Copies of this chain bind each other. A is one copy, B any other.
Amino acid sequence: MDGRMKEIGIGLLGFGTVGAGVVKGLQANGELVADRLGARPVLRKIADIDLERDRGVSVDPAVLCRDARAVVSDPSVDVVVELIGGTRVARELVLSALENRKPVVTANKALLAEHGPEVFKKAAESGVDLYFGASVGGGIPIIRALREGLIANRILSIRGILNGTSNYILTQMEEQHSSFERALGEAQQKGYAEADPSLDIDGVDTAHKAVILASLAYGFVVPMRSVHVEGVRNLSEMDIFNALALGYRIKLLAVVKEFGGDIEVRVHPALVPLDHVLASVSGVFNAVMVQGDLSGQTLYYGRGAGQDPTAGTVIADVADVVRNLVAGCPRRVPAVPLVRRGRRIRSMDEIQTRYYLRMSLLDRPGVLGQITSALGRHNVSIASVLQKEVRVGEYVPVVIVTHEAIEKDCDAALEEIQGMDLVGAKTVRLRIEE
């Protein structure tokens, strides 16, 4: 290899799973990357509060330190890679690095989704790069595809399976006929879910990613508070199997859509037709389907998490920064193309979709007619009905699939119906995305 190749110093903040993956990846493929780049990223500093734990990777002890701030200000560090996670220390360090005019690569979706405006503004003011490819989709280069590959497109919609933990749980519930609790336990045992899994199973992680994708697609930072978020925690096996019987699979989806100039950003379980390619994404895999006005549907599929895939995307971002430093063109691609006025975010009341309604109804003549009438009074019409059990005079589960309706109307209809004495337990309402 060329000894005179330009070297770019990398400072790593956080030596956890992904951090160790980046170190391993650079050790394994550093020369290959240098060859492809014509410049060599060199790991100069790694900061972590725990320097004892064995990460399965050997590092020159001189590189390790406990002081992340010292890494940020170290003159041998040209690029700061933030892999600490969370929004407190990470925010402070990222802002400080940008303030010091050091380009930053981060995989921190929470930071960007919660503090996007502040972080993007600081990067713009300092005139340095901020790359975050690994914040969505792990090893899948979806951020790059959306920001650069699809740049010619008006983005009509994005639908993504973006949380491997939730998707693994849903796959287990279906394939092993597990309850949610058992599937979650299994995911935790296999290391696919955290001890506190709420960020994953309550949809927050997916919402962070949806915010990032929506911001890239529509050129303004979508506030987290305007995103409707439901996770998979309350899904029951019954609905998973009812959905299958109707030709659908339930997936936790991030949905980003343009509608009459406004946009929708929402995260919730949704019924996806079995013949749709997103329905076949199982286990810990992620996939994103983008509908562009020119390119049509394109799909990106791969490992949405994990040490090596995420590290691969972090290193790809580092490579971009290295190219920009070598060519002298920082901010060739702005972090987010913040050029448009914000769009109005539609409230959930306004969305239009089809619904899966599982009602607990008294099994007696005329009941379905009353339900149909109530739905009809609120402009919700029925596409099909599934009733498996017959127990005259008792409450039985009845599944109703509606035609497209406005969510506000559906809510009003369900409120009216819930008040009727022929309805038992609270109706389960899921959305259908096709």
Question: Which of A314-329 touch B at CB < 8 Å?
Answer: 315-316, 319-320, 323-324, 327-329
Which residues of chain B are near A295, meaning CB under 8 Å? 139-140, 302-303, 308-309, 312-313
* Interface check A434, CB cutoff 8 A: no
Q: Which residues of B contact A294 (CB under 8 A)?
A: 21, 25, 28-29, 139, 308-309, 311-312, 315
Which positions 233-289 of chain A face chain B at CB distance < 8 Å?
Answer: 277, 280
Name the distance in Å between A278's Cβ and chain B's nearest Cβ. Answer: 11
CA distance A231 to B320 in the complex (A): 38
> CB within 8 Å of B: which of A115-165?
133, 139-141, 144-145, 148-154
Cross-interface CB contact of A332 among B25, B301, B306, B327, cutoff 8 Å:
B327
B298 touches A340 (CB 8 A): no
Tell me if B337 and A152 are in contact (CB < 8 A). Answer: no
Rounded to whole Å, the gap between the CB of A316 and the closest CB of chain B is 5
| CA distance in complex: A140, B294 (Å) | 11
- In the assembled complex, the CB of A147 is this many whole angstroms from the nearest CB of chain B, namely 8
Given contacts A144-B148, A277-B280, A298-B301, contact A38 B313 (CB under 8 A): no
Chain B min CB distance to A9 (Å): 18
User: B152–A316 contact, CB under 8 A?
Assistant: yes
Q: Shortest CB–CB separation between residue A273 and chain B, in angstroms?
A: 13
Pick from B28, B141, B327: contact of A329, CB under 8 Å? B327
Supposing A36-B339, A145-B145, A339-B35 touch, asked if A277 and B296 sit within 8 A by C-beta, the answer is no
Cβ of A387 < 8 Å from any Cβ of B? no
Using Cβ atoms and an 8 Å threshold, which residues of chain B touch A139?
A: 292, 294-296, 298
> What are 17 A-B residue pairs whose CB atoms fall within 8 Å in the complex?
A25-B294, A36-B337, A38-B337, A133-B149, A141-B148, A149-B313, A151-B315, A277-B301, A294-B308, A295-B302, A295-B313, A296-B303, A299-B302, A300-B300, A324-B329, A329-B332, A332-B332
